[in-house]
Chain A
Amino acid sequence: MVQVMEKKEAAEQSEFVFPRGLAGFGDAHRFGFIYEGQGDMICMQSLDTPEAAFILTPWDEQRLGATPELNAEQRDCLHLTSNEEQGSSIMWMLVLNPFADQAWVTANMRAPIALHANAGRGIQCIRHDTSLELRYHWMPQPSAA
């Protein structure tokens, strides 16, 4: 948890480049992070496309199990060197959707975000496993709680 917080602070202070953009936001390549003091949630704001902003939360290994494995192309895109361990260098985040369900804030398990703070690079890792939930019930809506 301490490591997650340290990485989150690093993310908050940095600009990240997403060379591939995000699906549906192909022109959004540079993102900044804004923490509003709401638990583990952080706002990822595009610096290229002002309307593109997402709420992210760290991958919770206790709840979800191990983080996904990066393939060679993804490692390359993130500038992850062969000396760097994925586990200690990459911060995995989930994209939350608080707008689709009145009762639940959902998390997209099929396309988590991988951030490499040392390189200032990120990618959205689209997973082809159709059993993964697109709208996983992450937490109740605060207004419904």
Chain B
Amino acid sequence: MMVLRRKVGEAIRINDDIRIFIQDIQGGHSVRFAIDAPANVAVHRLEVYSIIQQENQAANKGDALTWLKGGG
């Protein structure tokens, strides 16, 4: 994993089209980012995304079409 040191107001660029700005640091333990990314790039908090990822996989555990054909 890459680790970079940045100051408030500075940014990180990922590829040609994603920029992450450090907006401010609150209380020495909370960092606020501003993320500029194309509309087709999904940006979420990791813990929120992980929950949805797991639930999508759970909803995909069985065969959806067979379930529907079986009487819903």
Residues of chain A whose beta carbon lies under 8 Å from any beta carbon of chain B: 19-25, 34, 36, 38-39, 41, 43, 45, 51-55, 73-74, 76-77, 95-100, 108, 110-111, 124, 126, 128, 134-135, 142-143
B7 beta carbon closer than 8 Å to chain A: no
**CB interface residues, B 7-42, toward A, < 8 Å:** 39-42
Total interface residues in chain B, CB < 8 Å: 28
Contact flag A20-B51 (CB < 8 Å), given A43-B65, A96-B59, A99-B59: no
User: Main secondary structure on chain B at its contact with chain A?
Assistant: helix
Residues of chain B whose beta carbon lies under 8 Å from any beta carbon of chain A: 39-42, 44-45, 48-49, 51-65, 67-69, 71-72
Which of A34, A52, A98 neighbours the largest number of chain B CB atoms within 10 Å of its CB? A98
